[in-house]
Amino acid sequence: MKRTSKFLSLLLALAMVCSLFVPAMAAEGEEGIVVLYTNDIHCTSDDGLAYAAIASYKAQMEDTYGADNVTLVDNGDAIQGGILGSMSNGSWIIDIMNAVGYDLAIPGNHEFDFKMDTFLDIVENQAEFPYLSCNFVDADGNAVLDPYKIISYGDVDVAYVGISTPETLTKSAPAYFQDDAGNYIYGFCQGNDGKDLYNQVQKTVDAARAAGADYVVAMAHLGVDAQSSPWMSTEVIANTTGIDVMLDGHSHSTVASETVKNAAGEDVLLSQTGTKAESVGKLVIAPDGTMTTELVSLADVDTTSQAYTDAKTFVEGIQAEYSEKANQVVATSSVDLTVNDPATGNRAVRSAETNLGDLCADAYRVLLGADIGWVNGGGVRADIAAGDITYGDIIAVHPFGNLACLVEVTGQQILDALELGAMQVGVSESGGFLQVSGIKFTIDPTIPSSVELDDAGNFVKVAGDRRVSDVQVLDSKTGEYKAIDASATYTLASHNYMLKDGGDGYAMFGKDNITILKDEVMVDNEVLINYIKDELGGVVGEEYADPYGQGRITIKYKGVEAGAWYVEAARYVMDNGIMTSAGNAGFLPNGTVTRGTVFQTLYNMAGKPEVTEAASFTDVEGKWYADAAAWAEDEGLTSGTGTGLFNGDAAITRQELAKIFADYTASKNIVATEDVDLSTYADADKIPGWASESMETAVSLGILKGSNNQLNPAGTAVRSELAQILLNVSKLTPAYTEETVTIEVAAKDGVPAHTMTAIVTVPTSATKDAKVPGVVMLHGTGSNMHEVNGAYDMAAAEMAVQGLATIRFNFQGIDEGTEELYVNYSYTSANIDAKAAADYLAGLEVVDGDKLGVMGWSQGGTNAFLAAAAYPDTFKSVVTWAGALDLTTMFEDFDAAYAEAEKNGSFTMEFDWRTSLPTGFQWFKDVKSTDVLEETKTIKAPILTINGAADTVVDPASGKTVADAAQNEASANLIIENCDHTLNMFSGDYTAINQVISATADFFVDTLSGTAAADKAA
């Protein structure tokens, strides 16, 4: 069912029509029965003038259908809610309704706001139309009013059944329905979890049918808000039979026409007109039995008719009676005081703190000298605009005429009351929500309310976890807030409706549960006037400027509904400052996620590190996410969307999220260990190639999940989804840790003392009680510890996943700015450095120093062979990638280079990819004097040689030569087809490198863990 907002503009669009059959618009002289209906007029928004339009439209319908075929009914809450009602106890509104020509009405909960005697007097002595209610009963269960009335339209009889909300017992003052001893003498069939109401309605409908009714129209004041369950209009329909149409009220909903199944599965029409005379409803019963309902905008009604003029004159006569007093200026305000959220225009005073709520609560606390003051949100009814404040403005805010009281209560009663007031936060609004003074607290709407109510909606107890926490009471002497003491007593100022009568369900109060210190000393509107005049000097100042109040009520997870699937995620991101509220709207779970939002959350997750250099993007200056963009660019998480743009305000798709979070998790050493088959998803073919690998990673890690066998890659993400992704990421464990270290190497064998820069990668699973093997990684000529396009970084990560610690380092002269030291690099120095790295790794308490391997690429492979030969007790396994046996082939004329190095102390090597390096004479001597193949034959450890079949730098066959000559039977050679010396790393195709890394990790795991015949030395 679709329901529009309670607060539609008075100017509705063209009348909305929906029918059980074929809709028919009334034409001149058309036949049928017309029922016009209103609900929740609350004195109207224009001091009664809307009634003139209702009168005019009724006259128009009478001209069309005949006066005897038109009936005008009201479905409750007409006489309260504005100055006309409050200044006359509803009498003036009844006079207007008489003049307009209402035929029937039912009491809503607010018909009782001026006390029972007043309402019954209206029914018996003033209203010229009958009030109906089948479930408003006395202590003996007898109906106080007629339960139904049958009106005959020619030979057609229509029964009108009145149904009043059982919430009346708490939404009006409970004392109005009790005797002096506090015993209920009136009720609304509120018991038995709704069944008493259903049974009473059914009994009445059956009686009406038995009395000859052809049709039954239920005039109800029940509403469709969840908080009204089990008495919602939809629930009454679903549990009864025999009702044809239900004309509803109470929830201020705008429902042109809906169909609801009754207990027999039959369709029942449901309609409601909103509030404040936004529209008038029109039910047509055609001669063939077809029924339609529609809402008619009063803005479209003829204002030139005699009926309009007569009614307008009558209303203006009443307005003249109160205008002098109502227009009297009593104070001024420097700020707008509101019951609404200015960002949305929706009413906020019943679900959140507002500045007008603060003002009203302050008035009670200060004037009565209390520790705490409060007022129910349902008792703060209208805005006050900046400028002059009239008596009429104050009456509009407090129209009920409640009386101020000062009582003494316990801290526990305060805590229970706060819990009741917060019961509906995050679910729906509640008139019992408390606007407070002298106290502050936090509400967590993600905790399901554990408040238990009785059948009348009165507080019984808090049965479980509490939503309200961090309750602090203002110490008037020190001006500081202190934690509330549940066992202490406090003075509380409010009005009789809540404190003495237990209104809005506040049964922890009431005459028997409080000590009354000041009893009904001043009417509510006078409290507010006197506070502004006497305490604020007649001016509401800037301290009340913030429409969202002064921060007395913190809604911790505003916008997060209890029980929602994303509750845990919302808590995580909001508690940790990763995501913040979307303005006063709170979490906004269905809000669109932008690129800026995503990178800002990652920046927040990183702790907002200082940004020293602005992003290169041209569209981020001055944006709220500028620092996040700069950080993300620096971290390599984004390069923008092209042409120098970050595009932070653009909505982000799920496939873009997959790419970002795949890169982010990789940067945090989080590795997907399980393969996934995206083809099992129905929309896998819609994933673009650039996002395919990232989507696989995101799904494998559980970052993204499909729904209904769909990944929806091009769909835009919402805030709740992003929060869940961030929570999922937070639960992932890095496969390894990485630390950059320095190793001091002492002078040895002619190699001067020097410092090595290294990266140590250790599996997070490693402990001192579960040590892991380790591998020393040696880079090739002119390269560095990362190797080609980060190939060694990839290998270290994969080996860590497989349970291997690694250390990779730069040989002398490789660190930027130290190129002159390369002259000290040689086979001799490489052996020394490899041993130093191995010793460092073995010194870690989580690494098994007896299970170390060594690997190298190109000349690094040469060095790996020689290190394993030189230190057989250290290196127990060897892997080479394109390991070279003869480095003299690097030169067009090795002898000439040798001679130059001998003469000058070094020979300058030139490279296409880096600055030149001075290669020392020792290196040339080592190369010339060392038979690498013969050295490999001395190695007792198993050797795996890996070569690319298309390698033009190192003979691919050399690897097999080494493996065939090796002592250890576990030695092997692997040839990668269509693979060059760089393992195709410059091609962008990582198939070869992935195969090489996988084989390397498997070999080390097998040979160092003891599962292979590592000790099979020949």
**What is the b/e burial string over 117-149, where b = at least 16 CB atoms within 10 angstroms of the residue's CB?**
ebbebbbeeebebbbbbbbbbeeeeebbbebbb
Q: What angle do CA 622, 546, 346 make, to 5 degrees?
A: 95
What DSSP letter does each residue of 363-397 carry, written as one string? HHHHHHT-SEEEEEGGG----B-SEEEEHHHHHHH
Q: What is the pLDDT of residues 44-92, one digit of tens each?
A: 867 678 999 999 999 999 999 999 999 999 999 999 877 788 788 899 9
DSSP code at position 401? -
Tell me the CATH class for 329-555: alpha beta
Average of pLDDT values for 300-306?
Answer: 90
User: What integer pLDDT is reported at residue 558 of this predicted model?
Assistant: 83
Mean pLDDT for the chain overall: 92
Domains 39-319 and 736-887+932-1009 share a fold: no
Domain spans of the chain? 39-319, 329-555, 567-730, 736-887+932-1009
Query: 334, 541 in Cβ contact below 8 A?
Result: yes
Query: Looking at the predicted structure, is the pLDDT value of residue 765 above 50?
Result: yes
User: What integer pLDDT is reported at residue 587 of this predicted model?
Assistant: 87
DSSP code at position 842? H
Tell me the CATH class for 39-319: alpha beta
Q: What is the pLDDT of residues 507-534, one digit of tens each?
A: 999 888 999 998 877 779 889 999 999 9
Residue 372 — very low, low, confident or very high, per pLDDT cuts 50/70/90?
very high
Average of pLDDT values for 123-133?
Answer: 98
User: What integer pLDDT is reported at residue 405 of this predicted model?
Assistant: 92
Average of pLDDT values for 634-639?
Answer: 92
How far is Cα 914 from Cα 816, in angstroms, rounded to an integer? 10
For 102, residues 6+ apart whose C-beta sits below 8 A from its C-beta are 72, 73, 74, 128, 129
Give pTM, 2 decimals: 0.62
At the topology level of CATH, where does 736-887+932-1009 sit?
Answer: Rossmann fold (3.40.50)
Query: Looking at the predicted structure, is the pLDDT value of residue 133 above 90?
Result: yes
Residue 912 — very low, low, confident or very high, per pLDDT cuts 50/70/90?
confident
Q: What is the pLDDT of residues 556-573, one digit of tens each?
A: 888 888 889 999 999 999
How far is Cα 678 from Cα 550, in angstroms, rounded to an integer? 52
Query: 64, 28 in Cβ contact below 8 A?
Result: yes
Mapped onto helix, strand or coil, the DSSP state of residue 876 is strand
Mapped onto helix, strand or coil, the DSSP state of residue 868 is helix
What DSSP letter does each residue of 50-68 carry, written as one string? HHHHHHHHHHHHHHHH-GG
Average of pLDDT values for 667-687?
Answer: 90
Q: What is the pLDDT of residues 609-621, one digit of tens each?
A: 999 999 999 999 9
User: What integer pLDDT is reported at residue 24 of this predicted model?
Assistant: 35
CA dist 929 to 1, 153, 958, Å?
A: 89, 121, 19
User: What integer pLDDT is reported at residue 583 of this predicted model?
Assistant: 65
Q: What angle do CA 596, 620, 694 make, to 5 degrees?
A: 40
How far is Cα 985 from Cα 1005, in angstroms, rounded to an integer? 24
Q: What is the pLDDT of residues 899-910, one digit of tens each?
A: 999 999 999 988
